[in-house]
Structure 1
Amino acid sequence: MTLLRTPTALLGFAILFALALVALLAPLLFPADPLSIAGPALLRPFQDASLPLGTDRLGRDVLAELVHGARTSLLVGLAAAATSIIIGSVVGTLAGFLGGILDEVLMRVTDAFQTVPGFLLALAFVSVVGPSLPVVVFAIALGAWTGPARVARAEVLSIRERDYVAGARAIGMHPLKIAFREVLPNALPPVLALSSVIVAAAVLTEAALSFLGLGDPNRITWGGMIAEGRTILRFAPYLSIIPGIALVLTVLGVYLAGEGVVEASAARKVRA
C-alpha cells in the first residue's frame, strides 16, 4: 500500500479521521442543545473542568459549539464537492463526447462561470435566495463545477476514439449510454483528484459566508463562532482563535490527504 507509506497522506488522513470521528460522535458527546446556556458568560478556557474551552458571551459551551460546528463544515465540504463533481462531470462528458455546437455552448457557459470568483458567486446567490444549508452547498458548487468540467472534457476527448467506444457505436448503443456508461467511468479518476481542493475551498467559503452572517442560522458554524468572537476580540480572543484553529486544521488535513494521494499515484505510475 503506497498510500500508507506516504507521510503526507498519513498525517492528512489522521487529521480528517479525527475530525470525522468528532463530527459523527457530536450527538453522543454533547447531547444537549449546543446553543443552550451552560455556565457563566465569558468563562476562560481551562478554568472549569466541565467547560474545558470556556464559554462565549452568552454562557454557551465553546467545546460543544466547536464539535457541532465540525458537522456543518464537513457536511458542507463533502456535499459541495460531490455536487460540483457531478455537475462538472456531466457537462464535461456531454461537451467532450458529443462535440460540435453543444461543446461550444457548454464551454462558453463554463468560461462565463469561471470569470466570476467563486466566493462572490456564492455570496450573491445566498444573498438573493436566502441562507440555508442546501442553498449554501449549491452556491459553493456553482463556483466549483468548472474545474471538474474542463478536466472531464479533456479526458473524454482522449477516450472517445478508443476501440471499445468504436465497438459500442458499431453495435448501435445510444450515444448518451456510451458517454455515461462506457466513457465517463474511465474519465473519472482525474476528476476525483480535484475533490480535495474543492472540499478545502468549500469549507473556507462556508466559513466566510457564516462570518458575514449568510450561513444557515439554525446551525452552528465555525465561521459564525469567529464572527461572534470578533466583537469582543480584545477581551476574549479565544472565542475566535479556537474555531480558527479548527478551520485551519480541517483545510490542512484535506490538503495533505490530497497531496498524499497524488504522490502515491505518481509513485505507482513510476513503478509501472
Structure 2
Amino acid sequence: MSRFRRLLGTWEGMAGFAILIILLLFGLLAPILSPGDPLRIAGRALLAPFSDPAFPLGTDRLGRDVLAGLLYGARTSLAVGLAAAFSAMVLGVCVGMAAGFSGGFVDEALMRVVDAFQIVPGFLLALAFVSTIGVSTPIVVLAIALGAWADPARLTRAQVLAIREQDYVASARVIGMHPAEIAFREILPNALPPVLALSATIVAGAIFTEAALSFLGLGNPNIATWGAMIAEGRGVLRSAAYLSVIPGAALAVTVLGVHLFSEGLGKALGDDGGRGA
C-alpha cells in the first residue's frame, strides 16, 4: 500500500486532504468564479450576505465583493503558506543535515545559530523583518521562513545523528562510498519522513502569521488577504460582523484542514517507518 493510500486511510488524512483540495480549487478557480480585481468597488457598501444575488456574501465598507476577497484570499494564504514552509524546510534540512553529518565544530556552530533563532518567537521575528525591509509578498514569505526553519533543522540533526550510527551507513563507509553520497543516498531519505510530517504544521503557522501581518497592515496591500479582510471589519464589528467572521472562519477551516492533514501524514509515515523497521 502506498503512502498516499495510507494517508487517505485515516479519517484525519481524508478530511484534511478534502478541505485542502477544496480550498486549492477555490484559489485556482478564483479568476473564473469571480473575474476582475477583487479589490475593486463592485457595488453598494455594506450589503448583508444573501441580500443581493450578485454578492452572495455581501460587500464591505467600500463596496468590495466579500466572496471575491475570500476566493483570492485563499490563493494568497495557500501560496504564502506553502512557499514559506518549503523555504523553511529546505533551509532547515540543509542546516540540520550539515550539522548532524559533520559533527564537531561545525555542529556546535550551526546549533548555536539555531538556538539564536529559536529564542525569538517566529511572529516577532517576521514582524521585525517586514517592518525593517518593507512590505511585499516575497519579503513576507522570507520573513515567515526565517522564523520557522529552526525546528526542521533541529529535528533533521537529531535524525541524522541517530541514522549515521546504523550498520548500513558503516557498511557504506567500509566499501568506500563518498561522504556526500552516503549523506544524500543513505541518510537523508531515512531522516526525511519525520521532518515532512512537521511541514504541515509549518504551513499552518505560516498561514496564521501571514494573516496576522496582514491584519496589522504589514501584508501586501495590492492583493486580497484574509487578515486584511478581518482588519477591515473591525470598525463595524457590531453592525456588520460578517466582514470579520467570514474570513476568520475561512482561516480557521484552513488551519484545521492543515492540522488534520498533518495528523494523517504523521500516522501514514509512522506506519511506513514501522514496516521499514
TM range (shorter): over 0.9
Partner residue in 2 for 1:223 = 227
Aligned position for 1:205: 209
Residue 98 of structure 1 is matched in structure 2 by: 102
Partner of 1:39: 43
- 8 Å CA contact 1:133, 1:216 repeated in 2: yes
Change (3 A) 1:169 1:265: closer
CA separation in 1, counterparts of 2:273 and 2:209?
A: 34
| Pairing partner for 2:147 from 139, 143, 154 | 143
Q: Is the 8 A contact 2:194 2:269 kept in 1?
A: no
Contact 2:101 2:161 in 1 (8 A): yes
* 1:71 corresponds to: 75
Distance 1:171 1:263, change over 3 A: closer
What does residue 4 of structure 1 align with? 8
In structure 2, the residue corresponding to 1:194 is in which secondary structure? helix
* Contact 2:197/2:269 (<8 A) preserved: no
Question: Is the 8 Å Cα contact of residues 47 and 54 (structure 1) preserved in structure 2?
Answer: yes
One of 76, 85, 89 as aligned partner of 1:85: 89
Q: CA deviation at 1:263?
A: 2.9
Question: Could you list the per-position Cα deviations for residues 63-82 of structure 1 after superposition, in whole angstroms to 9, with x for gaps in the alignment?
Answer: 00110010000001111111
Match of 2:263 in 1: 259
Residue of 90, 113, 118 corresponding to 1:114 = 118
State the partner residue of 1:184.
188
How many Å apart are 1:177 and its aligned residue? 4.2
Contact 2:45/2:63 (8 A) holds in 1: yes
Long gaps (5+) in structure 2: none
The Cα offsets for residues 33-83 of structure 1, whole Å up to 9 and x where unpaired, read as 111111101111000111000111111110001100100000011111111
Is residue 163–residue 187 contact of structure 2 (8 Å, CA) maintained in 1?
yes
- C-alpha contact (below 8 Å) 2:193/2:269 kept by paired residues: no
Residue among 6, 23, 29 paired with 2:27:
23
Distance 1:140 1:163 in 2: 39
* CA positional deviation for 1:173: 4.7
Equivalent pair of 2:43/2:65 in contact (CA under 8 Å):
yes
Deviation at 1:162, TM superposition (A): 3.3
**Could you tell me how far 1:169 is from its partner in structure 2?**
3.6
Alpha carbons 1:7, 1:260 under 8 Å: kept: yes
Letter in 1 for 2:58: G
- SS of the equivalent of 2:233 reads helix
Out of 229, 243, 247, the residue aligned to residue 247 of structure 2 is 243
C-alpha separation in 2, matches of 1:213 and 1:196: 26
| Cα distance in 2, alignment partners of residues 173 and 8 from structure 1 | 41
Separation in 1, partners of 2:244, 2:200? 25
Identity of aligned residues (%): 67
Separation of aligned partners in 1, 2:9 and 2:82: 25
Q: Indicate the SS of the match to 2:200.
A: helix
Q: Which amino acid aligns with 1:118?
A: G
Identify unmatched segments of 5+ residues in structure 1. none
Contact persistence 1:133–1:215 (CA under 8 A): yes
User: SS at 1:112's partner residue?
Assistant: helix
**Structure 2 vs 1, CA of residues 267 and 181 (structure 1 numbering), >3 Å: closer, same or farther?**
closer
Output aligned runs, 1:51-70, within 5 Å. Answer: 51-70=55-74
How many angstroms apart in 1 are the aligned matches of 2:18 and 2:70? 19
Cα-Cα RMSD: 1.7
